[in-house]
Structures are given as C-alpha cells and as structure tokens.
Amino acid sequence: MNGIKIEHTLVYALIVFTPSLCNASFFTLQNALDIAKKESPDIRSLKNQVESAAAKKRQTLSPTEPSLSVTYNDLDQAFDVPNSGSTVYEITQPLAFPGKALVNHSVASHQEKSLEYQLRAKELEISADVKTAYYNLALAEKNIDLNAEQKASYERILAIAKRRYESGAITQVDFLNAQIALYANENDLLDLRAAEKTARAQFNTLLNLDVEASSEVAHIEKITLKAPVAESEAQNRMFANRPEIQAAHEQVEASESSSTLAKMSALPDFQLMAGTTNYNLAGASPLSAANPNNRQTYLLGIQATIPLWFFFNERESIVSASHDNAAAVANVATLNNQSKIALESSLASLSALKNKIENYQNHLLPLSEQSFNVALVSYSSGKIDFQSLADTASSRRGVKKDYYSLIVSYLNGYAALNQLLGDISE
C-alpha cells in the first residue's frame, strides 16, 4: 500500500435545477457540517455540561460561608431579651485542612476536561453521521441518474426491436419483451425516488430542517482514492487525538485525585472563632474587679474536627475511591483494545474497497460499456437474441450501480476512520 501513490479527490458537478426544484437549497459538505454542529441538541447539551463543570471547578476554591451568631444570656424571665445580663456576638469561619481545596479543584478540573473531550467526541460523531447522510443522498441521486441512462438504453433497444420486428427478423415476443423492460425500468424509478426521499429526510433531520425540505447535495462524478495512513502512524494519531481515549485518561486522573481527597478525610478540619460579649449589668464582667467600668470582653479561638470514627466513616470512602480508580484504569485499557480492533478493521476495509474500486475503474466499467455496445450491434445484425442483449444492459447498469455504491462505502469508511483518529475535517 505504501508503494502506491494515491490521492483522494471528490469532484462535484454543478447542480442543474429543474423547475420543480427551483426553491431547493444546495449544501456543500462543509456547509452541512457547520450547520449540523450548530443545530445539534446533543452538542448544545454537552457544551452546557462543560460550562457547568467549569463553574463547579471555580467553586471548589471558594471559602466556606461563615456563620454569625447573637446570644442573649442571663435572662431573668423567659424570652425577656431587653433585660438580658449580657449579649454575645460571635463569627465562625470553617476551614478545611490545608490542601484539600486544591485536591478538590484538581478533581473538578479533570472532570471538566473529560467533558470537553466528550464534547469533541460528539462533534466527531455528528460529523461522521452528516458525511454518511450526505454521501447516501448523493448516491440516491446518482442511482436516479443511472436509471435515466438505463431508460435511454432500453429506448434504443426498443427502437432496434421495433425495426427488426417490422422487417420480420424477430418475433413479436422480442418486441413485447423490449417494451416490458422499458416499463419495468419505470417501476424501478419509483423505488429509487422513495429511497432518495428517505435519504434526504435523514440528511434534513441532522441539519434540523423540515424532513420535506428540498435539500440538494453535490453529485459525485469522479473520484480518485486517497490511501489510508499507515497502521503505525494511524495508531499513534488515534491514541494521541481520539477524544474518547483522552476523556478516559482524564477520568483516571480525576479518580486518582478523588482517592487522594478521600485519604485526606483522615485529617482534621478547623473552625476559627472570634466574638465579643457585652455585659448589660455593671460588675457582671469577669474583668470588673480590675476595671469597674469594663463591660466588654472578647473571644478568639480555634476548633478542630477530629475524625475519631475514621474506621467506620472515612475508611470506606478511601476503599470506594481506590476501586473507582482501578475501574477507570481498566476502562482505559479496554478502550485502547477496542480502538485497536476498530482501527485494524477500518484500515482493512478501506484497503479492500480501494482495490475493488480500482478494479471497476480499470476493468469492469470499460468492459461492461464495451460489452453493451457490441451486444447492440450484434442484436441489430441478428447474431444474438433479445435476452442476451437485455442481460447485457442489466449487467452494465449493475456494474455502474455497484461502482458508485463502493465509492460511497469508501467515503463513509474514511469518515469513520477520521472519527477514530480524532479528525473532524471535511
């Protein structure tokens, strides 16, 4: 494969609109991709999830809200607040053990990055879906063109059959069979138009258009193939760029930070307290002996929350976090293996499709065309019967139909390969 110089070119012909399609909208592939990514509700959902995760990440560094208390002490009667002996004002600020906030921020940061990669993966998925729908619609339109070409062939055959029947060279059966072939081709057109309508509805849905919208895409007229990248290069690109793998790695990092945070639960948390007590009665202050006019004292302290029941509470959180980390690591290994298999299958399929298309281009297409032309001449001169001519015409159409189906299969396969490699380009 490496010794073959191969290019991938998709040549589009201009659309010639009929009067019934004068209001149709024409889409290039890149234009369709841009619209689909903008209109996709799945992408909008993930974008909002990313923004939410970013806000939660910022919140992890925010200090805990302080509490303020006012206490009326030494009431001579229940709820007799105006006659309280003293009034205590106190503010308390909880503080986590130093470093916990940073570790929690690390967990949120990796979760945000994981969602960003999931968003990237969804964009790649939508891109591949749009490409598939675009190419399938182009194929459906091409099949209608091939039907029109086949109709012209059957009309030529009918003209020859009529001339030979009128001259007495063939029986009426051959003339009738030529008419049957022409009308059968009209029935095929009905099925092809139904398939085109379905393909267009799928394409319109991805672009958030009305399913009945007259969307038109470029016609596939000629294509030379671009070889898939070498397997070793493809693997390197896939492991470096595939967002599903990157998201899985971020989950591993997040689980490791979560495990560290769970272990830090064995460390104490603190509360800083500050306050003042105002004594309403002279001499009530404990400092009144030194200063009879002193009616106010102050409070400053620190309180620690000791994880005394660590064995029953925090220990299980550590065990759970370690298992979450092990599961995330195993998920990366599974995803890597699945990606390798998918890549190998994609490259093998594209290589086979490339060889088939080249065989059609180099041999089957020119031979089927030559065979049909020879059959027309031979039937005109009476060297072959009508059935041989009809079979040759059907074979010629089948070869062309299969050829364009292979091209679309290759394009769809290449879109799937780009998705594996993390490439969102057209």
Q: 227-249: per-residue pLDDT in tens?
A: 777 888 899 999 999 999 999 99
pLDDT value at residue 1? 36
Whole-number average pLDDT of the chain? 88
Once rounded to an integer, what is the mean pLDDT over residues 249-267? 93
What's the pLDDT score for residue 223? 55
Q: What is the pLDDT at residue 22?
A: 46
Per-residue pLDDT tens digits for 61-80: 998 999 999 999 888 788 88
Lowest-confidence region among 160-169, 189-198, 304-313: 304-313
**Chain-centroid distance, C-alpha 193:** 30
Distances (CA, A) of 347 to 131, 153, 337: 18, 38, 16
Left, alpha or beta for 395 (phi > 0: left; psi -120 to 50: alpha)? alpha
CB 245 within 8 A of CB 254: no
pLDDT of residue 176: 92
259 is a domain residue = yes
Bridge partners of 92?
67, 273
User: Distance between CA 385 and CA 327 in Å, rounded?
Assistant: 71
Query: Highest-confidence range of 4-13, 219-228, 352-361, by mean pLDDT?
Result: 352-361
Q: Distance between CA atoms of 413 and 226, rounded to whole angstroms?
A: 12
Residue 143 has pLDDT above 70, yes or no: yes
Q: Is 344 contained in some domain?
A: yes
Asked if pLDDT for residue 369 goes beyond 50, the answer is: yes
How many percent of the chain have pLDDT more than 90? Answer: 70
Is 388 within the bounds of a domain? yes
Residue 132 lies in a domain: yes
Residue 19 has phi, psi (to 5 degrees) of -55, -35
End-to-end Cα separation, the chain, in angstroms: 23
How much is the pLDDT for 2?
36
Residue 77 lies in a domain: no
Structure tokens at 225: 């193939």
Q: What is the β-pairing status of strands 215-217 and 25-27?
A: parallel
Distance of CA 249 to the CA centre of its chain: 18
- pLDDT for 49 equals 96
100-166 vs 172-206: helix axis angle to the nearest 10?
A: 160
pLDDT above 60 (res 12): no
Q: Please give the pLDDT value at position 269.
A: 92
232 located within any domain: yes
Residue 425 binned pLDDT confidence (cut-offs 50, 70, 90)? low
> What distance in Å separates the CA atoms of residue 200 and residue 133, rounded to the nearest whole number?
8
- The percent of residues above 70 in pLDDT, for the chain, comes to 93
Report yes or no on whether pTM surpasses 0.95.
no
List, edge to edge, every strand of the sheet that includes 296-305.
67-73, 86-95, 269-279, 296-305
Burial of residue 257, with CB atoms counted within 10 A of its CB: 0-12 exposed, 13-18 middle, 19 or more buried: buried
52: in domain: no
Answer whether 421's CB lies under 8 Å from 234's CB. yes
CB neighbours of 102 closer than 8 A, spacing ≥ 6? 61
Asked whether the beta carbons of 354 and 249 are under 8 A apart, the reply is no
Give the length of the chain.
426
Per-residue pLDDT tens digits for 200-215: 999 999 999 999 999 9
CATH of the domain at 343: 1.20.1600.10
- Domain containing 354: what range? 9-39+96-267+307-421
C-alpha span between 251 and 249 (Å, rounded):
5
Q: List, in sequence order, every beta strand (DSSP E) within 242-339.
A: 269-279, 296-305
Number of domains comprising the chain: 1
Residue 14 near residue 232 (C-beta atoms within 8 A):
no
Does residue 180 belong to any structural domain of this protein? yes
Banded model confidence at residue 23, pLDDT cuts 50, 70, 90: low
Average pLDDT over residues 79-95: 90
